[in-house]
Amino acid sequence: MFCGFASSTWSQALETRWEVMTAPNPDMTFMLQPNKDFVTLGVPFRTNEFGFRDEPLKPKTPGMFRILVVGDSVTFGTGVKNEETFPNVLEKKLAGRARPSHSVDVINAGISAYNIRNIRGQMQEFMPKIQPSLVVYVFVENDLDDSVSPGPNNYLAAYDPQKPAEEPFVGDDFAGMWMIKRQSMEKQGLFSKLKGLFDNQFEEICQLPPPLILGNHPEPNRRWTRFTQEFETMKALCEGSGARFVVYSFALKNHSEPILKRVEEICQAHQVPEASTLPIFNYSEYADRYSLVYDPHCNPQGHDLMADRLLSFLVESHSLPETIFDLSLPVNHYVEQIDPAVALDLETRSLKGPGEIHFANAQGIIGLLAGFDVYGKIGRSCLFRLGGEGEIMEIQAQSLTDTPEQPVTLSARIEGAMVGPPVQLTRTMATYRFPIPDPYSAQTIEAELITQGPLWVPTIDQRQQGAMPLAAQVNYIKRIKE
C-alpha cells in the first residue's frame, strides 16, 4: 500500500497466517478458506461461510438494511480486531440510528490483495446470496494492480492467471518493492556502499503517488480503461439487484490527490456518489497517528475515523433511507476538496522520470515500473520511464538464455510504438541503441524492452519465492543526445 512501511522488520515478528483457495468465480482468482481460524499480524480472526472476515450470514428480514462493504486489506482490517474494523464500527454507529422494528447488518467482504477485477467477481458470486441494500466499494490505489493467485501450501503468489505465464507481474509499488529486496541483499553484505543513495530514492518513491497509474501513457491508460469497465459492471450489478452503489476512497492528503481526482471523474461521469478519507488523513501524520506503525494499515483510531467519515458520507449523500434510520441525529461534517495545485505538483513530480537507470549502483530506480529483478535481469518484457532530453535510448545488456540454434533478440517499444529493428544479444555485455521518435525527444517517455527467443519461466512454487521469467540482463538504460 505505502512502500515506506514495508521495510520495517517489526511486523515480521507478528504472525500472519491465513490460507487461500481457488475461487468459484475465476475473476475472483482466490478467496480465503471459509469457516477457518486465521491470524493477521498477531490478531486472531475467523472466516464465515463466504470466506469473509465476518459473522455467519444472518437471515434477511423485512426490516433489515444490509450494507456490503467490498475492498482489499484496508477494508479487511489487517492487524486489528474484528470489532475494530471500520465496517463493524459503522454497524455499531448505525445500530443506534435504526428506527424501532428495523435493524442494520454491515458485512465486511474485504479481502487482502484483491484488485478491482477480484472485487467485481466477488460481487457477481455472492450478491445474489447476500442481497445487500447498499454496496460500498472501498477504492485503494493498488486496485489497478495485476491479480495475485493461489500458490503452493495455499499461500499467494505474484502471478496473474489471466496473463501469459511469461509476462511480468505489474503492481503500483514496483520501484519501492525493488528497493526493499535490494536493501535485504545489502543487509546480507551485498551493495553495502549504496545506503545513502538507497535511502534518498526510497523516501522519494514513498512520498509520491505511483507513476504506473498516472499520466497520458499507454500502461496507465490501459489500466484505467480496464478499471472503468470493471466499475461499470459493478454499478450494473447493483442496479440489477436493486442495491445502491457508492464509492469510498482511501486517500492521504498531499499524496493521493492526482489518483483521487481520476476516481472522482469516473464516479461523476457515471453518477455514482463518492467520498474519501482525504479530510481525515494527511500523509505527513498518518504513519505516526493512524497506522499500525510497523505496517501501513490503519490502527483502531484510524478505523474509527474511517467509520465516522463513511457515516457522514452515507447520510449526506442520502444513501440511508429515512424509513429505517433516524437521520435527524447529527453527524460530523467533513469538507472534501482537492487542491488542484497540489494534485498537479504531485503528478508532475511523480511523472518526472530519471534520465538514466543503472542497476549496479541503484541509480534512477524510481523509473522502474515492472519486469526487472534486483540485478537488472528481465524476462519477456520490462517496463520503465525515462525523463530528460535526447533522441537515443542506449541500453547495455546481454543474453542469459540463448543457444547456438536460438538467439535472444531485444526490441524496444516507446509510447506504444515499436522503434528501430531488433538487435541480437550476446553472452557478454554490449551497448545497443534505439531511436526515440521526434515528438518525445524532450518529454518523459514510457518504454518497454521485449525479448524474443529462449526464456526461463519459473513454476508457481518458484514465483511464490520471488522468482520471475528470465531471458536477459540489463546493466544500464540511459537517454542521450545525438
Average pLDDT, the chain: 92
Orientation of helix 300-316 relative to helix 86-95, angle to 10°: 50
Pick the CATH number of 3-152+215-341 from 3.60.40.10, 3.40.50.300, 3.30.365.10, 3.40.50.1110: 3.40.50.1110
- Sequence-distant (6+) residues with CB within 8 A of 377 are 400, 468, 470, 472, 473, 474
Query: Could you report the per-residue pLDDT of 19-78, keeping only the tens digit for each?
Result: 999 999 999 999 999 999 999 999 999 999 999 999 999 999 999 999 999 999 999 999
Domain boundaries, the chain: 3-152+215-341, 174-209+352-480
Confidence of residue 202 (pLDDT cuts 50, 70, 90): low
Q: Is residue 190 predicted with pLDDT exceeding 50?
A: no
Cβ-contact 397, 475 below 8 angstroms: yes
Residue 2, pLDDT above cutoff 60: no
What is the rounded distance in angstroms from the CA atom of residue 204 to the CA atom of residue 136? Answer: 32
Q: Which CATH architecture has domain 174-209+352-480?
A: Sandwich (2.60)
> What is d(CA 246, CA 134) in angstroms, rounded to the nearest whole number?
8
Asked if 154 contacts 20 with a C-beta cutoff of 8 angstroms, the reply is: yes
Question: Residues 355-413: pLDDT tens digits?
Answer: 999 999 899 999 999 999 999 999 999 999 999 999 999 999 999 999 999 999 999 99
| Pairwise CA distance, residues 474 & 375, whole Å | 8
How does residue 179 score in pLDDT terms, banded at 50, 70 and 90? confident
Distance CA 61, CA 419 (A): 63
Residue 424 to residue 429: CA distance in whole angstroms = 12
Residue type, 153: N
pLDDT digits (tens, 9 = 90+) for 424-465: 999 999 999 999 999 999 999 999 999 999 999 999 889 888
The C-alpha atoms of residue 317 and residue 275 are separated, in whole angstroms, by 9
Instruction: Compute the distance between CA of residue 246 and CA of residue 59 in angstroms, rounded to an integer.
Output: 24
- Residue 184, pLDDT > 90, answer no
- 397-425 confidence digits (pLDDT tens): 999 999 999 999 999 999 999 999 999 99
